[in-house]
Structure 1
Amino acid sequence: MSPDVDPVESHPAMPAEADVVVIGGGIAGVSTAFFLRRKGLRVVLCEKGRIAGEQSSRNWGWCRAMGRDHREIPLIQESLRLWRRMDELTGGDTGFRACGILYLCETKAEMDRYEPWLEHSRLHQIGSRLIGADEVRALLPGLKRPVAGALYTASDGRAEPARAAPAIAAAFASAGGTVLTDCAVRGVETEGGRVSGVVTERGPIRARAAVLAGGAWSRLFCGNHGLDLPQLKVLGSVLRTAPIADGPDTSAAGSDFAFRRRADGGYNVAHGGLSTVDLVPDSFRLFRPFLPALRAERKGLKLRLSGRFLDEWRTPKRWALDAVSPFERARVLDPEPDGKLLDYAFAAFRASDAAFAGAREVRRWGGLIDVTPDAVPVISGVPSLSGFFVATGFSGHGFGIGPGAGRLMADIVAGDDPVVDPAPFRFERFSEGRPAVIDGGF
């Protein structure tokens, strides 16, 4: 069961042409479309299902700089600057609040493991710091579990996933952009080795550029054009509670649970230390590029074999642009959450704080996270196909980093000076013959 997401009205007419077509209506796609439109370009945003129907509405709702891979820090700092202004920029309600985030530590050894990351915080003036148990309890006054301290960043925040991308998409439409929902893009067309348009299920749109912001679908889309994008999927499982009186405003994560307060007074709850990975055919095809990540993150991954193996085995890898595509056969990825993982996390959540003891679950859901071998996104043009750009592989960081990623992608497409250095996010890094570098962010 998916979260309730604010609806976004689809444009009634099918445009014949645009300057840019953005493929995918998640947080990265709508942000890219929004900032391209602010540059005065004619932009069409195509979504095969509904805006924010997949992981962009199913994530925790955190917007954090703390613990980022050092390559992402300038981008998340730009994104947080945008989050603080997003309601003003869109005229909507994204729910952003600078509530602070805590990583709880049960032992001094856990605190010591965070110490090296503080150098990144000092270099970029993020303001993260290690705090003792007394300060933790001042932020979480009802905390019942023993703690040695925490890594804390007061400037980090939260937003409402079910509101944010729809608010940005609505602002894009109000500014003259075109939003098409239930409109899958089957592929791109080319002339003379460069993009000349896209083919949708409703017909073609001429355009000089196309941006793929397809989340978990991006590898499949690229593969149909002979482009090898190494990307796998991780299952995220989240539940929400009914409103809780007198609960803490600060977001926090421990080894077995994580939470953030919702605008409705309830909480989103997830497991703080484990993610579920379904083994699929691509798990074996991409074993070598993902091996460094598997070694680095093995304690945080719950591997399993499920029905998704056969589902992905049966999914066509190639299709003609005049034929029904896989994106039309499955409009919205709505995977079952990992029930055992959520049961464990919810029990730990309820036991962790006096305010949570009587918490009542309202709904739970799953979402598929797009992951790259180095856990850093692709925000880049594709050298072998001029006019084709990719923004994907956000590896569980996409909601918080989405506005900054959209602004950077818009700069790249428009040929403007990029807001941050785009080199770490280049598409071609995976074909350079070097093993993936795992930064050790968390």
Structure 2
Amino acid sequence: MDVIVVGGGLMGTAAAYFLARRGVRVTLIERNRVGTGATVASFGNIRRTGRYLPQLPLAHRSRALWGEAEKMLGRDVEFRATGHVRLVFEEESLADMRAYVEAARPWGLDLEELGPEEIRARFPGLGPDAIAASFSPRDGCGNPRLIAPAFADAARRLGAEIVEEVAVGEIVRTGAGFEVTTSKGVFAAERLLNTAGAWGARIAARFGEEVPLVARGPQMGVTEPLPHRILPVVGIWTRQKSDGYLRQVERGNIVFGGAAERTEVPLDPGHAKADPTRLPAQLRAIVRLLPALAKVTVIRTWSGCEGYVADMLPIIGASGTTAGLFHAFGFCGHGFQLGPGVGDVMAELIATGATETPLHDFRIGRFAAAA
């Protein structure tokens, strides 16, 4: 075997697929079922607006792959380029939005500024009190329940081995590469890719690479079905904690999140639960974005275990201590859009030793340098 991938969320399954597409022999190991961790708990936002600027090349690469996903994977993963609008309600937030728009343009992200009349005309019912908005027409959303299984199945068709529901024990460096001891046997390969999400820091620490990461759970919810409108994904520019966001799925339900502190999640067993006391603040935030939701019934809430790095940037790239070891974890709740691009970049890096997509700011060694 050439590569073992530990962790079967979106990052891991995408990497397995792109590795297999390059002819690399790959085994993916997942302790549960693929895509049932942080990926399935995601809001499903495919957003480039507001990203850390040096992350935009990776986000652009990933957006292109989202557009190819149905053809590439052989099934509809419900990627829809509905556009992404972020509403502005305060003057200070308008200044923040305009500063970001100007800063992002050299990085290849062109955002349209909408005034109040344009918002009303193009998106009736959205943010009646908004004073402005940014609009990114090529962004949108995808289905978090479909994407990782689709990548895993496509990887399997290309010859990848997908091992699910397996407990992982020791992970050690050997003279020939790496050995991973599991409840289903010992797997060996020349290289190892750590895509273990909130558990990724534990794997890195085994090789002398400490990452300041905590596990937290976002809170998401979904309403009863409503008459379907082609809404963009809706968010907000704000310095407040009322950062709600929402989108409508094709069956009519409104999926929403934000406006609630993320809860701490113990990694053992790593089960995150929604907190009903946080729901009223979320509902106030989304009603501000779309007042028509004021009398709508919420039918379900949920959470998931995500890894948050101290500087809110992910770990992506080669190990700083161990040849043949690679990392892609700690996406701080912002990884869904990046997933296909991360998988493609890691496959390129592992297979060729280099990638044109800049990853310097996401290197794991940044914490050792600061120590």
| Secondary structure of residue in 1 paired with 2:370 | coil
Q: Quick one: which of 290, 305, 330 aligns to 1:353?
A: 290
User: CA shift at 1:50, angstroms?
Assistant: 1.0
Task: Name the CA distance, whole Å, in 1 between partners of 2:127 and 2:322.
Answer: 56
Corresponding residue pairs, total? 366
- Stretches of structure 1 that go unaligned for 5 or more consecutive residues are 1-17, 279-307, 316-329, 435-442
CA distance 1:187–1:211, shift in 2 (3 Å): farther
Counterpart amino acid of residue 259 in structure 1: L
Q: Quick one: which of 99, 116, 127 aligns to 1:133?
A: 116
Q: Quick one: which of 268, 277, 284 aligns to 2:255?
A: 268
Tell me, yes or no, if structure 1 residue 119 matches structure 2 residue 106.
no
Counterpart amino acid of residue 345 in structure 2: L
Q: Quick one: which of 362, 378, 381 aligns to 2:318?
A: 381
Matches within 5 A, 1:37-436: 37-143=20-126, 145-192=128-175, 195-254=177-236, 255-271=242-258, 273-278=259-264, 311=266, 330=269, 333-350=270-287, 352-353=289-290, 355-433=292-370
Counterpart amino acid of residue 408 in structure 1: V
Task: Name the CA distance, whole Å, in 1 between partners of 2:311 and 2:358.
Answer: 17
- Stretches of structure 2 that go unaligned for 5 or more consecutive residues are 237-241
CA distance 1:125–1:199, shift in 2 (3 Å): same
Counterpart amino acid of residue 185 in structure 1: V
Residue equivalent to 2:239 = none
Residue equivalent to 1:300 = none
Task: Name the CA distance, whole Å, in 1 between partners of 2:88 and 2:291.
Answer: 19
- Asked if the contact 1:65–1:73 (Cα under 8 Å) also holds between the matched residues in 2, the reply is yes
User: CA shift at 1:251, angstroms?
Assistant: 1.1
CA distance 1:149–1:351, shift in 2 (3 Å): closer
Task: Name the CA distance, whole Å, in 2 between partners of 1:347 and 1:274.
Answer: 11
Higher mean alpha-carbon deviation, 147-156 vs 24-33, is at 147-156
User: CA shift at 1:191, angstroms?
Assistant: 2.2
Higher mean alpha-carbon deviation, 201-210 vs 414-423, is at 414-423
- Asked if the contact 1:350–1:357 (Cα under 8 Å) also holds between the matched residues in 2, the reply is yes
CA RMSD between the two structures: 2.0
User: CA shift at 1:110, angstroms?
Assistant: 1.4
Task: Name the CA distance, whole Å, in 2 between partners of 1:195 and 1:77.
Answer: 33
Task: Name the CA distance, whole Å, in 2 between partners of 1:144 and 1:53.
Answer: 34
- Asked if the contact 2:88–2:132 (Cα under 8 Å) also holds between the matched residues in 1, the reply is yes
CA distance 1:122–1:227, shift in 2 (3 Å): closer
Task: Name the CA distance, whole Å, in 2 between partners of 1:399 and 1:260.
Answer: 15
CA distance 1:263–1:166, shift in 2 (3 Å): farther
| TM-score, length basis structure 1 | 0.78
Show structure 1 runs of 4+ deviating over 6 A: none
